[in-house]
Amino acid sequence: MKRFNLKKFILASAILLLLGCFPFFFSGCGAQKYNVDYCGSKGCYSNAKDSYKAGTKVTLYFELIATDTDYSFTLDGEPVDWSYDDKKGFVIQFTMPDHNVKLECHSKNSMADYKTE
């Protein structure tokens, strides 16, 4: 019968412990996530998540577009640059700061000011 080898047991246990912890070293589990307040309109954005890690490049798509409406977007009250994709609609991109943010969509009916004479 083989004799129990304490050194091999400790070495094997240490290796297993390190391998078990290995994914946590690269998972960024300690990185802080911050919330996005979509002002009740999260469903209007494709690809929207509740929170992102600081420094993440966030890309959202706003697809619910009326042809007679002008749109603008603000992040914490500041204008957000956007582009347009024929298939996905408005493309809103920003880098997530290290705090919670508020994303707002502003819309104005462009035909409301139109007068016929």
What is residue 6's predicted lDDT score, i.e. its pLDDT? 76
**pLDDT tens-digit map of 26-37:** 555 667 999 999
d(CA 80, CA 16): 48
Which has more pLDDT, 54 or 26?
54
What is residue 14's predicted lDDT score, i.e. its pLDDT? 73
**pLDDT tens-digit map of 35-49:** 999 999 999 999 999
Q: Is 44 exposed, middle or buried (0-12, 13-18, 19+ CB in 10 A)?
A: middle
